[in-house]
Structures are given as structure tokens and as C-alpha cells.
Structure 1
Amino acid sequence: MTTTSTGVTPAGLDIDARYSAAKSIAQEAARLGMEYYIRREDLEVMHKGGNRQDVVSIADKNLEDYIRAQLTERFPEDGFIGEEGGTADLGARCIWVIDPIDGTACFVNGLHNWCVSIGLMIEGEPYLGAIADPNHNELFHACLGRGAFVNETPLKAHPAQHVREGVTGVGTTHRRGKENFIPFLTGLLNEGGMFMRNGSGALMTAYVAAGRLIGYYESLINSWDCLAGLVMVKEAGGRHNDFFRGEGLLEGNPLLVAAPGVYEQLAGLVGPSLDSD
């Protein structure tokens, strides 16, 4: 039996069916995404808000349409938040939070760091998620109380006790929060740490759950990029900041996920901006 952090299992909900659906739909969407990826030079690519670095392709739109249709057919009472399709039925007990292609800039430029991310909130709490990476044949998934896995291998956060004992993932945008990025990197390097950025917040968050990274900091990230991964981090024994405070679900917030032994050190390097509105 699975429980929420308050110890209460959501009554009247088929958790098994939703967990199974998240995994299977994410994998099929990723397979469909690979078909677009192989012929990416033929894709229509658009730029959001005139930003040449913030791109969206017809693949993003079609994959989100596919994911929503599949979930709506199985769970018509559930709501949605999607990067491309907006929101629907936010008063529902269950809200699916979807990024059809996280790492679109990587996708359209032939870089293998993109994935499909499907997360589910139940009564306001991140409850389960699936992240499918078809380039590496990996499905990261987790459900509260059941552990976190890549394919069928259990995940566990890194045992590091200091930032110099592993690699930290980082990310930023040209939106609010970017002014905190360089000071964080400077502090991390001064402490002997190393960093990497791969272009997919969902994958980087999953990598923290898998112990591949000791932490991941992004100065501003959207919920569809990290909700699924937050469940994985929690189930793998990692820690994260209060991402959903304020309007985080719809407008985004800074994100820090980390192995328990380095969370406080990384949070100190980020400073007060981590949990300020």
C-alpha cells in the first residue's frame, strides 16, 4: 500500500493503473519522438517569444496531444498541466504534469539529451512519475512508497558528504533568477566542486535520484520539467527545496535537488534566492 507524506493513501483512486499508464505512455511517446528525431531536419521549428534559443517543434505539440489523449481516455476525471497545451481541470484530485520533449533545443540540434516526462500530482502532492530517455533505452520511474527505478534497477542517491566528491548538474535561463547562477558556480568551484549541464532538467533531476550527480541546481525551472523527477529524488533518499511554494506549479521556481550529505552545502552556495518569492 502506498501512502502520501501525511501517511494517508488517496481513497478511491487506482494508483496502480495510473503508475502503469505513466510508464507505458512515456515509453510510447518517446518511441514516437525518436521517429521525429531521426528526421529532425524536416521538422518545423518555431521560436517562443522571439527568443532564438527557446524553441518548440511540431514534435512537441504532437507528442503532448498523444499523451493527453491517452491519459484522458483512461482517466477522464483527471486534470492537466502541459508545456504546450496549457492547463485543464486544475480542481481535479489528480493532475498530470507533462513535458512531451524536455530538452527541445537538444532535440532539434541532434544532441541526445532529451526525454519525455510525465508526472502526477494527487491532492497537491507529487505522487508518481516516469521519464523516458529513448537515446539510452532508460525509463526512470517512481511512485510514493514504492521506491525509484531506472528500468528495473533501484535508484539510490549519491553518498557524497562534500561537493568535491562528485559532479553537480546546473541549469539557468534568461528569465528571472539568472543573476544567481554565476555566483553559485563561483562558490561551487571555490569549494572544489565540478559541474555539468546537459540541457534537460528532467534528466538531470533523475540523475540525482540515480546517484550519477550529487545535486542539480536550476535558477528557474517549470513544474513540467521536474515534477516527475522530484518523486524519484524523494524515493531514492535525496532532498529538494520547497519547489511548489507560491505559484511554483504554474509559474516555476528555483530548484535544488541533492544527495542528503551535500544538500545543505549546495543550498548555502545558492543562498536566500533558493526559497524567496
Structure 2
Amino acid sequence: MKDLAMEIEDIVRCAGVMALTAFKKTNGKNYSLKGPHDYLTATDEIIESYVRTEIERRFPGDNVLGEEAGGSAGSGRLWIVDPIDGTANFARCIPHFCVSLAFFEENRVIAGAIYAPATDEMFTAEFGKGARLNGDIMRVSNQHQLSAASIEVGWSKNTVNSEYIALVQRSLDFGCSVRRGGSGALGLAYVAAGRSEAYVELYINAWDVAAGILIVQEAGGYVNDFWHDNDFTNSNCVLATNAALGEEMAELTGITLIS
């Protein structure tokens, strides 16, 4: 049998190909809203169903938690899947989206993968074995000046607007370049790849960050303790940054980091 990392990569790559095929057929209208600015496409549900089927086939009896069909953490082995992170982009014909899958065992992320099919980029990590981009070793940026940092500030409809605006304003006041791409998973992957110095979001779900947190850590970055209560169905804030700016980013955001 293939090793765990290869199995995860197989699943997300196949899911990503399915997503890209559907994306090329979309017309910017084939979606519904679960709530204001909370998009759902038929592709989300099809891909999550595919991932669940593959996990059951390859790892019978494992628990699965997904954005669309839910699930519970249970005990023992757990998979967390986001079938399309960046659904609003996908629905509006913007090619910035990905499939994210993470595997937990004994309350620790053991392996994860994020695949962006539009750019054919596979971000992967295994606990204690480093992070890779399309097979090549990946490291966070070494930028140590906050005034030269590029950071992404994610937005959620569950965030109080004034708090989000204040965070963006503080970032600008510190001299940072600020952007928002609309995919938390890719935001974390870009920190791991050294494309951004930090990603921060005040309210985000576990399936958005499960793989990305491990990938950032294994690429040498710092993150906050998102899993502090071991309740994988809870939302939380997230901060991921390179090591050089960890202390300053913690001060800027008010979010405590772990290495």
C-alpha cells in the first residue's frame, strides 16, 4: 500500500482535477447561498462525496469531518476536508481556489495537502518531515522587517466589521502591504511558500486551516494554538507567520503564537 502522504496527495489531486473541470464549465451563475456571502456550488458537494468515498475505501472506519456534510471527530483517526476552499472565487470564475485535506491521529495533524488545480500547485507536509511544493522543499520567508512585509488579512461574515477594519488599519499603520485572496487554505500555503509573511483571520473554520497549519509549521513558520480545545468543529482565529516576524505579528494582531 502507498504511504499516507502519497494517499493524501492522490485524493486531493483527483479531487482538484474534478474541481478544475467543473470550473472551466461554470458561468458565474451556478451557485446558491447558504447565507450572505456564503457560497455553495454543486461541485463542493460532489467533491466532498468523492473524498469521503476514497477515504472509506482506503482507510475503512476512519472518521471524516467535512464542510458540506459535517461529521464528528469521534475518537482515533480523523480526516478533515474542505472540498473547495475559495468557493466564492470558484463560483465567480476566479481561479484562486483549492482542495484541502488533513489527517489527525491522537489529536495531532500528521499529514496534510492543499492542491490548487488552476496553477497545478501541490502543497504538502508530514509531521516532522518538512513541507514541500510540487515535491521541492518549501520554507517560509526570511523577511525580518515588518514595514516590508506582505500579509493577508482574511475576512469572514462572522467577524464584526469594525474589528476587521481595525486589524487592517493596524497592519497598514505598521507599514505592511495588505491583501485578501479569498482562500484561507491558500493564504496559509502562501506563507509556507514564502510568498507572504503572514496570514491572519479573526474567525475561521477548522476545515479551512487543518492542512495549512501543519504546512506552515513544517516550513519553519509559527502559528497560534488553533486546536487548544481539541474540538475540531469549533471556529477560531488563526495567525501564521514566518519565524523572523513572529513577535511583531503577535503584537500587531493580539494573537499568541506557538512555534
TM-score by length of 2: 0.94
Counterpart Cα distance in 2 of 1:257 and 1:233: 7
Counterpart Cα distance in 1 of 2:106 and 2:227: 13
What do residues 79-125 of structure 1 show as CA deviations (whole Å, max 9, x unaligned)? 1110001014x233210000000000000101111000001111111
In structure 2, the partner of 1:10 is none
In structure 2, the partner of 1:4 is none
Determine helix, strand or coil for the equivalent of 1:250.
coil
Determine helix, strand or coil for the equivalent of 2:195.
coil
Aligned residues: 257
In structure 1, the partner of 2:49 is 65
State the one-letter code of the partner of 2:23.
Y
* Post-superposition offset of 1:177: 5.2
* Post-superposition offset of 1:186: 1.4
Determine helix, strand or coil for the equivalent of 1:23.
helix
Given candidates 29, 35, 44, the residue that maps to 2:21 is 35
What do residues 40-94 of structure 1 show as CA deviations (whole Å, max 9, x unaligned)? 1287412113x2x111010000000000000111101211110001014x23321
Question: Within the alignment, does 1:74 sit opposite 2:86 as a pair?
Answer: no
Question: Within the alignment, does 1:108 sit opposite 2:91 as a pair?
Answer: yes
State the one-letter code of the partner of 1:64.
E
What do residues 133-191 of structure 1 show as CA deviations (whole Å, max 9, x unaligned)? 11111000000121101101111011122222221011021214554322221111111
Counterpart Cα distance in 2 of 1:196 and 1:176: 17
State the one-letter code of the partner of 1:84.
E
Where in structure 2 are the equivalents of 1:17-166 lying within 5 Å?
Answer: 17-41=3-27, 44-49=30-35, 51=36, 53-88=37-72, 90-166=73-149
Where in structure 2 are the equivalents of 1:175-190 lying within 5 Å?
Answer: 175-176=158-159, 178-190=161-173
Counterpart Cα distance in 1 of 2:12 and 2:188: 17
Percent identity over the alignment is: 32
State the one-letter code of the partner of 1:255.
V
Contact 1:77 1:92 in 2 (8 A): no
Counterpart Cα distance in 2 of 1:64 and 1:178: 31
* Post-superposition offset of 1:244: 1.3
Determine helix, strand or coil for the equivalent of 1:216.
strand
Counterpart Cα distance in 2 of 1:190 and 1:46: 38
Counterpart Cα distance in 1 of 2:160 and 2:150: 22
Flag the 1:192–1:248 CA change in 2: closer, same or farther, 3 A: farther
Question: Within the alignment, does 1:228 sit opposite 2:211 as a pair?
Answer: yes
Aligned-pair Cα RMSD in Å: 1.8
Determine helix, strand or coil for the equivalent of 1:86.
coil
5+ long unaligned stretches in structure 2 = none
Counterpart Cα distance in 2 of 1:221 and 1:160: 26
Determine helix, strand or coil for the equivalent of 2:47.
helix
Determine helix, strand or coil for the equivalent of 2:232.
helix
* Post-superposition offset of 1:270: 1.4
Counterpart Cα distance in 1 of 2:161 and 2:225: 19
Where in structure 2 are the equivalents of 1:160-175 lying within 5 Å?
Answer: 160-175=143-158
Flag the 1:101–1:127 CA change in 2: closer, same or farther, 3 A: same
Determine helix, strand or coil for the equivalent of 1:32.
helix
State the one-letter code of the partner of 1:228.
A
